[in-house]
């Protein structure tokens, strides 16, 4: 069986990578280049709006090097969660970039597009037949949730990617995908242990974040064998250690040893980590437990309204002390002035006091001498959001409070205009598992010669 070498150039396509690191990776003669291109981390807006959180120019820069390297060496290039969110507009954005680069550079290859956007009526059929289940704390899915959804994607496993490679694709561009899948697909296809392959994919998915010092904008090499895998950074300034690789195994996971994914669960109860050189770590013992039924995670969003924000600062020590009184007063004035309106949301984030954690902050109250105040209004129309935010901002600017000395405004505004339209707001309303009879059925394959 030998070994399979997988090059991960960067954590997310468009995040960039040092050319020296990438060239060092190519010197190791990789059998596969794979890269993740998206995430739900930036929130639901990008899925709903059909736009990418990664910059087009930055993605094109990365793709130019990846395509040239893969096509010239005749090795597969696999890209997962295209365009940031993996829906149809995201897939088409990155497919357009690939075609553009191919024309500019005279590249010829077979491209596979693996679609991941799921029709709501297909989900409805499964819902009515009892094959859709909540994931984690999510509530049971309703038909109303489906009707409200703007876009739904399914998170594919390795199987549709393997099918694309079986079809002779040299470049595979996938919609929403399980993060390790693009790294593990060729390995599982070649007969390597799926537990080791998926665990390796879990490490490679974020590039050199698994190294010390970590970076999401640098490259990592994975070497998979029949009984273990090894990872090492390609930048001499970094090294993989037992702690850095083990820590990244726990990255974004609620359970330290059982990591569920499409079609089963990665079991790390017997995983071992060994430092085999100054920069390289070996991992053994990972296994994959297939589930009784194959489930695909669905991600869907609905439109929640429109947002307007205003950013201000406060350095009056009395107002800082009485800020809760001020906010309560402003909320009451807004409620009174807009008693005829029930379609709005108003929030105040206080940076300098619980601005990040809010009500979940565990640290006891600590003194601060200034506050950054973010006023947010969300409403059914942009005009109403503008109105609510503007009224709240002006009311806070001139609000009275116990001990007030100044008679002028309370707030300092860093910008003019002080209010900013945030546009459409989306909310995740589908985060559920759907049972499928076939791992391929939600993910149509499209093949084209470029």
> Do residues 344 and 338 lie in contact, with contact meaning Cβ atoms separated by under 8 Å?
yes
Does residue 213 have a cis bond before it (omega within 30 degrees)? Answer: yes
Strands (E), 181-254: 220-224, 229-233
Which run of H or of E encompasses 420? strand 419-436
Give how far the C-alpha of residue 158 lies from the chain's centroid of Cα atoms, to the nearest Å: 18
Nearest CA to 196 out of 184, 182, 181 is that of 184
Residue 42 structure tokens: 């930036």
Q: Report pTM.
A: 0.93
Q: Quick check: 316 and 399 in contact, CB under 8 A?
A: no
Q: What angle do CA 358, 359, 365 make, to 5 degrees?
A: 80
Indicate the pairing of strand 258-261 with strand 149-155. Answer: unpaired
**Nearest to residue 390, comparing CAs of 426, 349, 338, 437?**
338
pLDDT tens by residue, the chain, 450 residues: 699 999 999 999 999 999 999 999 999 999 999 999 999 999 999 999 999 999 999 999 999 999 999 999 999 999 999 999 999 999 999 999 999 999 999 999 999 999 999 999 999 999 999 999 999 888 999 999 999 999 999 999 999 999 999 999 999 999 999 999 999 999 999 999 999 999 999 999 999 999 999 999 999 999 999 999 999 999 999 999 999 999 999 888 888 899 999 999 999 999 999 999 999 999 999 999 999 999 999 999 999 999 999 999 999 999 999 999 999 999 999 999 999 998 899 999 999 987 777 777 777 776 788 999 999 999 999 999 999 999 999 999 999 999 998 778 889 999 999 999 999 999 999 999 999 999 999 999 999 999
* 3-state secondary structure string across 101-159: HHHHHCCCCEEEEECCECCHHHHHHHHHCCCEEECCCCCCCCHHHHHHEEEEEEEECHH
Q: Using alpha carbons only, what angle is made at residue 357 by residues 364 and 258, rounded to the nearest 5 degrees?
A: 110
User: Of all helices (H) and strands (E), which one includes residue 208?
Assistant: none
Q: How many CB atoms lie within 10 A of CB 8?
A: 31
């Amino acid at each position: 069986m030998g070994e399979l070498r997988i090059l991960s150039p960067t954590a997310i396509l468009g995040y960039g990578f040092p050319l020296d690191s990438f060239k060092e990776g190519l010197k190791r003669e990789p059998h596969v280049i794979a890269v993740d291109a998206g995430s739900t981390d930036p929130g639901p807006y990008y899925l709903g709006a059909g736009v990418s959180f990664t910059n087009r120019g930055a993605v094109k820069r990365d793709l130019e090097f990846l395509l040239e390297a893969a096509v010239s060496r005749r090795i597969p290039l696999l890209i997962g969660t295209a365009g940031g969110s993996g829906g149809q507009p995201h897939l088409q954005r990155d497919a357009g970039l690939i075609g553009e680069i191919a024309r500019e550079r005279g590249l010829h290859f077979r491209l596979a597009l693996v679609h991941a956007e799921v029709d709501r009526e297909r989900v409805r059929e499964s819902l009515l037949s009892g094959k859709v289940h909540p994931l984690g704390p999510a509530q049971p899915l309703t038909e109303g949730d489906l009707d409200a959804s703007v876009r739904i994607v399914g998170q594919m496993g390795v199987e549709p990617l393997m099918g694309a490679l079986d079809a002779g694709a040299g470049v595979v561009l996938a919609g929403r995908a399980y993060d390790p899948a693009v790294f593990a697909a060729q390995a599982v296809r070649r007969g390597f242990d799926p537990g080791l392959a998926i665990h390796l994919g879990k490490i490679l998915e974020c590039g050199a974040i698994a190294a010390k010092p970590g970076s999401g904008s640098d490259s990592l090499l994975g070497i998979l064998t029949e009984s273990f895998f090894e990872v090492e950074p390609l930048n001499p300034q970094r090294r993989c250690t037992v702690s850095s690789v083990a820590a990244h195994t726990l990255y974004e996971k609620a359970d330290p040893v059982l990591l569920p994914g499409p079609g089963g669960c990665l079991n790390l109860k017997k995983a071992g980590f060994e430092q085999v050189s100054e920069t390289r770590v070996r991992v053994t013992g990972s296994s994959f437990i297939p589930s009784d039924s194959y489930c695909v995670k669905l991600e869907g969003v609905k439109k929640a309204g429109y947002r307007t924000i205003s950013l201000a600062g406060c350095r009056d020590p009395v107002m800082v002390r009485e800020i809760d009184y001020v906010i309560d007063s402003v909320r009451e004035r807004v409620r009174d002035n807009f008693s005829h309106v029930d379609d709005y949301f108003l929030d105040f984030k206080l940076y300098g006091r619980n601005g990040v954690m809010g009500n979940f902050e565990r640290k006891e109250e600590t003194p601060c001498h200034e506050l950054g105040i973010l006023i947010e209004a969300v409403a059914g129309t942009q005009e109403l959001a503008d109105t609510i935010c503007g009224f709240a901002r002006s009311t806070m600017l001139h609000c009275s409070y116990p001990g007030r000395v100044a008679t002028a405004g309370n707030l300092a505004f860093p910008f003019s205009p002080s209010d900013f339209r945030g546009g459409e707001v989306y909310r995740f309303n589908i985060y559920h598992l759907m049972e499928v009879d076939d791992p391929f059925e939600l993910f149509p394959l499209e093949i084209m010669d470029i």
